[in-house]
Structure 1
Amino acid sequence: MLLQPKPKNARSKRVMVNRDPKVVENSKTAIFVRGSTTSQVILNVLADLYSLRKPDAINFTKKNEIHPFDDETSIEFFARKNDSSLFAVGMHSKKRPHNLILGRTFNYQILDMVELGIERCTPMSEFKAEACAVGMKPLMVFNGEAFNQNENMIRLKSILLDFFRGETAEMVSLKGLEYVISVTTGPPGINGEPGQIFFRSYTTSLKKSGVRQPRVELEEMGPSLDMRIRRVRYPTDDMWKQSTRIPKELKVTKVKNITRDGLGDKYGRVHLGKQDINKIQTRKVKALKKHLDGGPNKRQKTDIEE
C-alpha cells in the first residue's frame, strides 16, 4: 500500500480533498497502459477502447515495464497518480500473444482483473459507419447462459459493465442511445471452460415505423473482437465487502406496511382495531331507536290498545 502524500499548498490540498471518498462518487476514470512489448493488434484494441471510454480516460503513449499479475506496484502507482479506478493494459509475448488485461482498483489497490487473449481484431477504422459521439452511454447486451453460470464470465461481465457505464443517470432519452455493445459467448470447451467471446459494437438509427415507437436499425461501427479468457484474479472477501458497501445516506429507509410490486406500484396495509357494531354511526331512523325504559314505542302501544 502506497503512502498518502501530504499537500504542500492550497491547490494540492483541494485536489486531495476532491479525491476523498464521497457519498455520490465522481465518474470513474480509466487508464490505458502499453506494455514493454506490444503488437499492432493490441495497439488497435487500446486505441478503440480509449475512444469509446472518452472523456473519462487517459491514454499512455510510452512503453512501460508492467505486469499486473506478477507485480502490482506499477499499476497501483499509476492509479493513485491519475486518480483512476479502471485500467486496461496491453502487451504481447510469445507465451501470451495479443494480451489484454482489464481490471478495477479500490482505494488505489487492485480489486480484480481479467486477462483476455485477442484472437481476431477488426478496428473501427475499417468500418464505414460513423462513430458515436464522445461521452455517450452504451446499451450493454450480454448473450449466453455462461454470463449467469460460469464464475469467470460473471466476473468479466461485471468488469465490462463498470468499464462502459459512464456517469450515473436517472433517466435516459431514447435518442441518447447512439450505440450498442453486444457481448456473446460461444459454445464451451470440452472441459467446461468458457468458449470464445465475441465483442461487437453498433450504432443505432431510428426509422419511421408507422407507430409511436420508431424502428431501430443497427450498423456495426467497431471494434470487432474475438477473444478468450486466460487468467482471472478475484478480490478478497474483506476488500469486496468494503468496495460494495452502501453509505448510510443512500440507504432507503424502510416504511412499515408499504410494499412495491415488480412494476413499481405502491401498496399499503392498514391495521384497524376491534370494531363494536353497536357503536357504529348509522342512519338515524326513529323505528330503530331504543327507548330508555326498554318498552315499545308509541306506535306499537296504539296498535296494542286497538
Structure 2
Amino acid sequence: MLKIKTPKTQRAKRALEERAPKIVENAKKTLILHGTKTSDVLNAVLMQIYHIKGGSAVKYTKKNANIRPFESGGETSLEFFSLKTDCSLFVFGSHSKKRPNNLVLGRMFDHHIYDLIEVGVHNLKSAENFEYDKKLTPRIGSKPFFAFIGEGFESVEELKQLKEVLLDLFRGEVVESLNLAGTDHVFVCTALSSTTVCFTHCALRLKRSGTLIPRMELVEVGPSMDLVIRRHRLPNDSVKKEAMKTTSDQMKKKIKNVSSDILQGKIGRVYIPDQKVGSIPLSNDIKGLKRERREAKRAKRPGENQAKKPKIDSE
C-alpha cells in the first residue's frame, strides 16, 4: 500500500499540487504496458502508439502478470504505475487463447480507473509497410485532425466511448489557437459495424488550389488496423460528475457590499469613515491667505501699478 505523506517543503508541496486533479488539466501522458504474454502483432501496435505519442508517453517493456483491469483487485498495480509516472491514460496489451491480440484502452481520474474499453486488433499494417515520401512523416508535437465516419459514433454506446478514448489518446495538448502549418496528419476512424472500427493514420499534404484555401490530399502512412470491441466499462456517475466539472460549475466568490438588481444592475455600498474635523490642526500662516490679502490691498490702491508720467517743464 502507498503511504500518504504530507509535504515538508514548499518544493514538495508544489510537486503534489502539480499532480493533483485540476479544473484546467495539464497535457495528458500515456502509460504503455505489456501483459504476461504478448504477440508480435501487439508488440508492433504498442511500439507504433509509442512513436505517435512521442515524448508524452512512458513505455514499460517488463511483463506484468498482476494487471487485470476488468477484474476486482487487478487494477492495483496499474494505479500504482499511473501515480508513479503521473499518467492519466494507459494502453495495456495482452494475448491469450480466449482473447488474442487484446488491447485495453483506459483513462484515469485522480490516479484511479475512470473507464475502460477492450478491443481486438486485426489486419495490422505498420508504418514500415507503407511507401511514401519521408518528408510527409508527421512531426512530433503537431496537432492532428480526426474524422469519424459512421452514424454509430453518435448512437452506439460502445462506439461513443471508443471515440472519446481515441480523442483523448491522440489529440495531444489542448491549445487555444492553431496554425494550419502545424496540422500535418489525420486519424480516420470508419465504423464498419456496431462493434468494428477501421483505424487509419494519414499524412496531410497541402497543395495550391488557386484560392486562399489550399487543396488537401491524404497519404496513408500507417499504422492501419481494425479494432473489434469486446468489453467496456463506463465510469461511475458520481466520479463522472466530479471529473467533468468545469470552471463555470464552481461557486463564485462572494464580493462584500455588492448586490445585483434586475432594474438597476450591480449595486455597491461604499462606507466612508467619520471625518474628525475637530482634531485637524489649523494654522493661520497659510500662504494662500497671505496672497489674497496682498491682492486685496493692491485693489484698494489702483494708481500704484500705473506708470508715472514724466514732467515737462514749460518755458
TM range (shorter): 0.7 to 0.9
Instruction: Note the 1:82-231 alignment, pairs <5 A.
Output: 82-129=85-132, 130=134, 131-187=137-193, 194-231=194-231
Specify whether residues 53 and 158 from structure 1 end up closer, same or farther in structure 2 by C-alpha distance, changes over 3 A only.
same
CA deviation after TM superposition for structure 1 residue 61, in Å? 1.5
Name the aligned partner's letter for residue 146 of structure 2.
M
* Other structure's SS at 1:121 match: strand
Provide the secondary structure at the position in 2 that maps to 1:221.
strand
Contact 1:90 1:98 (C-alpha < 8 Å) held by counterparts: yes
User: SS where residue 55 of structure 2 aligns?
Assistant: coil
Shift of 1:10: 5.8
The answer to whether the 8 Å contact 2:23/2:245 transfers is no
The one-letter code sitting in structure 2 at the alignment partner of 1:173 is N
Hey, what's the Cα distance between the residues in 2 that align with 1:227 and 1:23?
32
1:77 matches 2:61: no
How far did 1:250 drift? 8.1
Structure 2: runs of 5 or more not aligned? 253-262, 264-315
Taking a change above 3 Å as real, the CA distance of residues 164 and 91 of structure 1, as seen in their structure-2 partners, is: same
Q: What per-residue deviation string (whole Å, max 9, x for no partner) do you get for residues 242-268 of structure 1?
A: 00011348899xxxxxxxxxxxxxxxx
TM superposition score normalised by structure 2:
0.74
Q: Which residue of the partner structure matches residue 279 of structure 1?
A: none
Residue 68 of structure 2 is aligned to residue 67 of structure 1: yes
Largest Rg, 1 or 2: 2
Tell me how far 1:21 sits from its aligned partner: 3.3
> What amino acid is the match of 1:31?
L
SS in 1 for 2:198: strand
Counterpart residue number, 2:28: 28
Report the Cα distance in structure 2 between the residues aligned to 1:128 and 1:176, rounded to whole angstroms: 23
Give 1:15 shift. Answer: 2.2
Percent identical among aligned pairs is 41
In structure 2, the residue corresponding to 1:202 is in which secondary structure? strand
Give the C-alpha shift of residue 24 in structure 1: 2.5
Q: What is the TM-score with the length of structure 1 in the denominator?
A: 0.76
- Root mean square deviation of aligned Cα: 2.1
Range with bigger deviation, 129-138 or 177-186:
129-138
Q: Assess, with a 3 A threshold, how the Cα gap between structure 1 residues 141 and 5 changes in structure 2: closer, same or farther.
A: farther
Distance (whole Å) between structure 2 residues aligned to residue 115 and residue 21 of structure 1: 25
Alignment gaps of 5+ in structure 1: 188-193, 253-270, 272-306
State whether residues 33 and 59 of structure 1, in contact with CA within 8 Å, keep that contact through their aligned partners in structure 2.
Answer: yes
Query: Contact 2:21/2:109 (CA < 8 Å) preserved in 1?
Result: no
Size of the alignment, in residue pairs?
247
| Conservation of the 8 A alpha-carbon contact between 2:107 and 2:115 | yes
